[in-house]
């Protein structure tokens, strides 16, 4: 960056250290717990990134306790099953925490006052191509009429849940029209995946956070259940049995992974080959981003990584 003043935000941006691989980072500081994003870091939804599997094994060999923290609408067990199907060894992870798992647990327990007040009747926005999300065990009533709804539950951006248990495909603008009606009625939303977009096979795909952001613009109330909010990082630290000073978060989203780590007092590593690759002018996997460009982007997102790496490789 051309100029770095002494203000906190600019100083943070300029303090970012660049490494070419995880080995340098792991050897420079021994973190007890590594909180790893999956999409855009370990894999692209279809296949592992080059070197990701061997890097996990190297971290594990060094005694690192690794936990997946993911803005995924699906439950933690499904996430670990997905990783196994892609060739990852689930035994390398101490566990997984997803925004979908947190959403399920809070809706099931109802021990939080905000969730206690929700009611049971919901408009359910879900997936079609990616597979609908089961609401089994939550005692919810899916309704199709906004007038009957007590809240909105957003798991996906492709379909609307039906009272029969099936779903019908909907375009994004059709779902947003329903949200306008819900906002006019003043009912709250729970979003089970705060991501705006994700990387799938090198392409960006619209995620539930986009609908949640629209709902806030319509004047609606949203309960965001994952990154960048501290709830998921606190859960990860409890699972790992560590505090913030012994932890590092690794992710490809400045707004979600890095900003969330900043808010939780956790150091972070920004992987540039994910959702910001186009903004950074990167065309090939493993291409090293210009550090001044990374610092400028960090300022733009008000999210400041401790370290920057081209990919999750050793």
In a domain, 3, yes or no: no
Say yes or no: 37 and 97 in one domain: yes
pLDDT at 28: 80
pLDDT at 9: 41
In a domain, 13, yes or no: no
pLDDT reading at 46 higher than 80: yes
Say yes or no: 187 and 123 in one domain: yes
Instruction: Quote the number of domains for the chain.
Output: 2
Residue 190 CA to residue 151 CA, distance in Å, equals 8
Final residue before a domain boundary, out of 224, 241, 261: 224
Final residue before a domain boundary, out of 224, 239, 265: 224
Say yes or no: 218 and 156 in one domain: yes
CA distances to 96, 177, 199 from 44, rounded to whole Å, are 18, 31, 6
The mean pLDDT of 200-205, rounded to a whole number, is 68
pLDDT reading at 4 higher than 70: no
pLDDT reading at 51 higher than 90: yes
| Rg over CA atoms, the chain | 20
DSSP 10-21: HHHHHT-EE-SS
Residue with tokens 């990387």: 199
pLDDT at 248: 97
The mean pLDDT of 93-120, rounded to a whole number, is 97
The mean pLDDT of 94-112, rounded to a whole number, is 97
pLDDT reading at 115 higher than 60: yes
In a domain, 108, yes or no: no
Final residue before a domain boundary, out of 190, 224, 258: 224
The mean pLDDT of 307-313, rounded to a whole number, is 97
**pLDDT cut 90: percent of the chain above it:** 85
The model's confidence at residue 30, banded by pLDDT at 50, 70 and 90, is confident
Q: Residue 219: which domain range?
A: 118-224
Residue 109 CA to residue 138 CA, distance in Å, equals 9
In a domain, 140, yes or no: yes
Q: Are 79 and 37 in contact (CB under 8 A)?
A: no
Residue 157: CA atoms inside 13 Å, Cβ hemisphere, count? 20
pLDDT reading at 12 higher than 70: no
Cβ within 8 Å of residue 192, ≥6 positions away: 73, 99, 100, 103, 133, 153, 154, 155, 208, 225, 226
Evaluated on CA atoms 303, 306, 307, 311, the torsion sign reads negative
pLDDT reading at 177 higher than 80: yes
The mean pLDDT of 279-295, rounded to a whole number, is 94
In a domain, 292, yes or no: yes
In a domain, 145, yes or no: yes
pLDDT at 5: 33
In a domain, 12, yes or no: no
**pLDDT cut 70: percent of the chain above it:** 94
Say yes or no: 161 and 215 in one domain: yes
The mean pLDDT of 79-83, rounded to a whole number, is 95
pLDDT at 21: 94
> Please, what is the average pLDDT of the chain?
92
Say yes or no: 157 and 215 in one domain: yes
The mean pLDDT of 156-168, rounded to a whole number, is 93
pLDDT at 118: 96
pLDDT reading at 13 higher than 70: no
Say yes or no: 210 and 232 in one domain: no
Tell me the CATH number at 218.
Answer: 3.40.50.1000
In a domain, 11, yes or no: no
Say yes or no: 218 and 140 in one domain: yes
Say yes or no: 141 and 190 in one domain: yes
Say yes or no: 232 and 95 in one domain: yes
The mean pLDDT of 67-90, rounded to a whole number, is 96
Say yes or no: 123 and 174 in one domain: yes
Q: Are 306 and 268 in contact (CB under 8 A)?
A: yes
Say yes or no: 235 and 219 in one domain: no
Residue 49 CA to residue 250 CA, distance in Å, equals 15
The model's confidence at residue 197, banded by pLDDT at 50, 70 and 90, is confident
Say yes or no: 231 and 208 in one domain: no
- End-to-end alpha carbon distance in the chain: 27
Q: Which of 238, 272, 203 is nearest to 65 (CA)?
A: 238
């Amino acid at each position: 960056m051309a100029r770095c003043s002494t203000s906190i935000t600019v100083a943070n941006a300029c303090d970012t250290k660049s490494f070419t691989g995880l080995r340098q980072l792991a050897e420079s500081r021994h973190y007890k717990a590594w909180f790893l994003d999956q999409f855009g870091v370990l894999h692209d939804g279809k296949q592992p990134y080059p070197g990701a599997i061997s890097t996990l094994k190297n971290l594990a060999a060094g005694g690192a306790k690794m936990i997946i923290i993911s803005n995924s609408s699906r439950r933690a067990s499904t996430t670990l099953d997905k990783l196994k199907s892609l060739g990852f060894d689930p035994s390398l992870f101490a566990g997984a925490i997803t925004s979908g798992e947190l959403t399920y647990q809070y809706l099931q327990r109802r021990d939080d006052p905000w969730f206690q007040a929700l009611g049971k009747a919901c408009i359910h926005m879900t997936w079609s191509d990616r597979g609908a999300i089961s609401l089994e065990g939550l005692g919810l009533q899916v309704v199709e009429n906004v007038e009957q709804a007590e809240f909105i539950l957003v798991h996906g951006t492709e379909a609307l849940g039906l009272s029969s248990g099936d779903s019908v495909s909907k375009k994004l603008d059709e779902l947003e029209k329903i949200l306008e009606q819900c906002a006019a009625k003043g009912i709250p939303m729970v979003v089970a995946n705060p991501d705006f977009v994700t990387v799938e096979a090198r392409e960006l795909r619209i995620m539930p956070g986009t609908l949640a952001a629209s709902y806030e613009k319509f004047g609606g109330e949203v309960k965001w259940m994952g990154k960048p909010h501290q709830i998921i990082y606190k859960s990860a630290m409890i699972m790992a049995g560590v505090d913030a000073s012994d932890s590092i978060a690794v992710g490809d989203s400045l707004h979600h992974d890095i900003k969330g780590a900043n808010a939780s007092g956790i150091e972070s590593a920004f992987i540039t080959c994910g959702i910001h690759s186009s903004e950074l002018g990167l065309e090939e996997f493993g291409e090293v981003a210009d550090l001044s460009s990374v610092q400028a982007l960090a300022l733009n997102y008000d999210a400041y990584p401790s370290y920057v790496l081209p990919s999750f490789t050793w």
